Structure 1
Amino acid sequence: MPPSIIPAAVAATRGAACAAWAPFHVALGPYQLAVEFRDKSQMHDKRKLACLNLEDGRIELRQDLQGMKLAEVFLDCIIRLSHFSKGCQQGCVEEAYTHSFATGMVEFAQRNPMAWLWFNLLLTEHGGRNARYDRVVHGAVSRPPRMPKRILVGGHPVTIRSITKAETGNAFGWYHFSNREAQLYSGLTGSNLAVVALHEITHAVHHMYDIKQRDKHQNFKHAQLKGWLGIMKDNPSAWRWLVWVISFPAKASLAPAAPEAA
């Protein structure tokens, strides 16, 4: 998203103001929901920190949420809405939950640039300013981030490697369970690169959280929420790369690039 189309008020948002600023909608599948901060007494379900209120067309966030807890609760809403909008529910297999998450996150970011920026501002402000995720969303980096060679998933190292067309067979990528390795076809470009990368890394998340081929709906959601929030917090260079390929599909490629500026 070019900086020229981002309102100055958004670019200036920082700290507590970031947590309070949410005049946007989230569109996923056929749904467009307003995002609102509400007092506990006004929540659709007063027991929860957030509600997907599809009947009234809104995502309700408790107004006392802040920092990484706010980021976590919002991400949980996006995961739930993604699976719901794609019909991914109890009884679906692991592959379906994996692809639902991957395509849902890319759709969320590309259809909702203000919400995507706000979410990455939260991660930057409360997960370490050196992460600079919001600058990547702006495109305000000197050169595109590089694909990481290794990330931590649930405290375990997972290798990421590009492979040739001959190695991929009929797929765009693989997750090798015994080697803990996510493999991506070296010719991937555009939004397909973002979807495949998220897809294979989500297989790693499920692996590290001991998710079964047919597991409970709640277990899939929990593993994706905790696993991906951990990736965002513990692997800043990896998340910067993913933010780049998601935000700028026209420039996304696995072709070699110069190292990212410090």
Structure 2
Amino acid sequence: MSTSIAPCSVAPLSRRGAAWRARLPSQVVLGPYRLRVEILERSHMRDRRKRACVNVEAERIELRDDLRGMQLAEVFLECIVRLSHFSKGCQQGCVEEAYTHSFATGMVEFAQRNPDAWVWFNLLLTEHLVSDVRYDKVVLGVVSRPPPMPKRILVAGHPVTIRSIGQSECGNAFGWYHSSNREAQLYSGLTGSNLAVVALHELTHAIHHMYDLKTRDRHLAFKRAQVKGWLGIMTDNPSAWRWLAWVMSFPSKASLAPG
């Protein structure tokens, strides 16, 4: 039996906090789910112990009303990761490969089906990171030229090489992650949304490796590693995230071909 929830009274926010609340995306669509995005007092949330809830039954993402800046960005990303795995049936008992691809396809789907939420998330990062990352300009296409693929990034403090490889090296796959030499390899013929999915996929393997996850680890361990690992990439590797965000935003222009 469903229970109605009385409207919440939100405590007064600073001018900047009020502005962020006004810009908050109205909904997120992933898989068959269309969830409203709402800011709630702790007492009105499905689980008062959490900073956010993905409440599928009430069809909403609940964000606690005291979240600000990078804390809000982290919690929102966590909600997208949770909803991605839930919508694809990736749950306790699934293997590492399933969690890897569920994250990659879920993030690309989020970016392409939720343009308002995608711009909001990247603007939130832009305004609260120390350096001039310009993620919002990238996802809006306000750049003079597409960002180039990085050759190296830091994952959990460890360097990971990214290299484009030909078909003879690639075999029957679109990409590989080699843990022995910490290298992500991407097939040089990749284009469109597949480029974004494969790049995210191989770099998520790198995150799992750096966080020492096993093939059959806990659901919570995969979720936490993905949130922490990818937020770290966004924070510490602006050139890498600019490239990935652009590829996810403009798949029709995405290619590893020179020029």
User: Partners of 2:29 and 2:104 in 1: how far apart?
Assistant: 16
CA shift for structure 1 position 41: 1.4
1:157-211 deviations in whole A, cap 9, x for unaligned? 0000000011100000000110100000000000000000000000000000000
Map of 1:240 onto structure 2: 242
Structure 2 counterpart of 1:41, which letter?
S
Query: 1:58-137 residue pairs with structure 2 within 5 A?
Result: 58-128=60-130, 130-137=132-139
Structure 1 counterpart of 2:84, which letter?
S
User: Partners of 1:60 and 1:45 in 2: how far apart?
Assistant: 10
1:12-53 deviations in whole A, cap 9, x for unaligned? xx9542355214210001100000011111111111110111
Kept after mapping to 1: 8 A contact 2:91/2:219: yes
Structure 1 counterpart of 2:120, which letter?
W
Q: Identity of paired residues, percent?
A: 76
Q: Secondary structure at the match of 1:26?
A: strand
Structure 2 counterpart of 1:189, which letter?
T
CA shift for structure 1 position 139: 0.1
Runs (4 or more) in structure 1 with deviation over 6 Å come to none
Kept after mapping to 2: 8 A contact 1:72/1:229: yes
Kept after mapping to 1: 8 A contact 2:167/2:187: yes
Map of 2:149 onto structure 1: 147
Query: 1:8-87 residue pairs with structure 2 within 5 A?
Result: 16=17, 17-87=19-89
User: Partners of 1:135 and 1:21 in 2: how far apart?
Assistant: 16
| Greater relative contact order (CA < 8 Å, ≥ 6 in sequence) | 1
Kept after mapping to 2: 8 A contact 1:29/1:86: yes
Which stretches in structure 1 are left out of the alignment for 5+ residues? 1-13, 258-262
User: Partners of 2:88 and 2:210 in 1: how far apart?
Assistant: 25
Tell me how large the CA RMSD over aligned residues is: 1.2
User: Partners of 2:68 and 2:224 in 1: how far apart?
Assistant: 20
Structure 2 counterpart of 1:86, which letter?
K
1:43-97 deviations in whole A, cap 9, x for unaligned? 1111111011111100000111000000000000000000000000111000000
Map of 1:167 onto structure 2: 169
